[in-house]
Amino acid sequence: MSQTITEPMEKPSETEEPSSTSLPDHQNWIAAQDLLREKLIREDSFTWKIPEDRSDSEEGLLRYIGGVDISFSKDDPSMACGTLVVLDLRTLQVVYEDFSLVNIRVPYVPGFLAFREAPILLEILEKMKKSGSSFYPQLLMVDGNGILHPRGFGLACHLGVEANLPTIGIGKNLHHVDGLNQSRVRELLEAGENSCKDFINLVGCSGHIWGAAMRSTQGSIKPIFISIGHRISLQTALRLVQMTCKYRVPEPTRQADIRSRDYIRKLKMNARMKFLIGETYLNWKQMLQMCCKP
DNA sequence: GCGACAG
DNA sequence: ATCTTGTCGC
């Protein structure tokens, strides 16, 4: 309609360089989210069943749960380590892990986290799928929100739709939406405490339920925020989070977080050694072996 | 107009 | 997200 044609030499190419038209149009991102959201499934949509107890070994049960996270290097904030782990629900042990080191140019903008983090995570998932691993996750827990999002389509939804996997959003901080804020959550939590619930629904001003706040560990004051991503109901999501919570954050995302940070740390260590030793460079594993040999 | 805003 | 030491408690 009111499109101005005053842009100087705008390339119509599809290369997504944030330098081209980043300022005026998060509109493109909004349009993409609105489009993808039409594919979102907000109810249980999977073939597996949840095991009654950990020793249950029937066929067709949920067993492999993925967790994804990305950590960054302080030294070089464009360097990111995307991480995928898969845990066996029976033991809560990691049975698969993979990392991908990439340079991320897209900035973090609240409400648009997926455009920064989803591409690398999808790539790791795709790689695993093509490898034919028998551990390919039946469900994914995501470090970031699902429908608890200004447009009801956070990173967990985005990943779920694009990978066609059931996903659960795990937030460690509240994204303020529909009048929900820290004090509102405190009110809700304290009100729910009397009814002995370990989670409370996040009801916004509009009456819409965006997810749940949950004190996953007894004695933890700070809640986590659970919202559905894709192909799962909030009730099921909450049940699965509770099944996988040894600490405040459920194991899949917690392990992804820990190992991702660890990977970056080892990388820095490696770089430091490289600098100190110079041309006779050894990798850190060799270095540790040499140091530890009597 | 100003502030708030997952990771 | 990242930086950063010790500290208090079970």
Maximum separation of any 2 CA atoms in chain A, in Å: 76
* Residue A224 predicted with pLDDT over 50: yes
Protein residue at shortest CA distance from C1' of C2: A74
Lookup: nucleotide whose C1' is closest to A175 CA: B6
* Position A18 pLDDT exceeds 70: no
Distance of alpha carbon A2 from alpha carbon A41, whole angstroms:
35
Instruction: Express each pLDDT in A261-274 by its tens digit.
Output: 999 999 888 777 77
Nearest nucleotide to A150 (CA to C1') is B5
CB A227 within 8 A of CB A148: yes
**Taking all atoms of strand C, which protein residues have CB closer than 7 Å?**
A 71-74, 143, 172, 257, 260-261, 264
Domain boundaries, chain A: 33-292
DSSP bridge pairs for A201? A212
- The set of strand B positions with any atom below 7 Å of a protein CB reads 4-7
Q: Considering the entire predicted model, what is its pTM?
A: 0.87
The pLDDT of residue A186: 85
pLDDT value at position A160?
A: 98
The residue among A169 and A5 whose pLDDT is bigger is A169
Topology given in CATH for the domain delimited by A33-292: archaeoglobus fulgidus dsm 4304 fold (3.30.2170)
CA–C1' nearest nucleotide, residue A69? B7
Q: What confidence score (pLDDT) does residue A19 get? A: 45
Average pLDDT over residues A48-64: 93
Chain C: nucleotides below 7 Å from protein CB are: 1-3
In this prediction, residues A224-253 reach a mean pLDDT of 96
Protein CA at A83 to nucleotide C1' at C3, angstroms: 22
Judge residue A203's burial from the number of C-beta atoms within 10 Å of its C-beta, 0-12 exposed, 13-18 middle, 19 or more buried.
middle
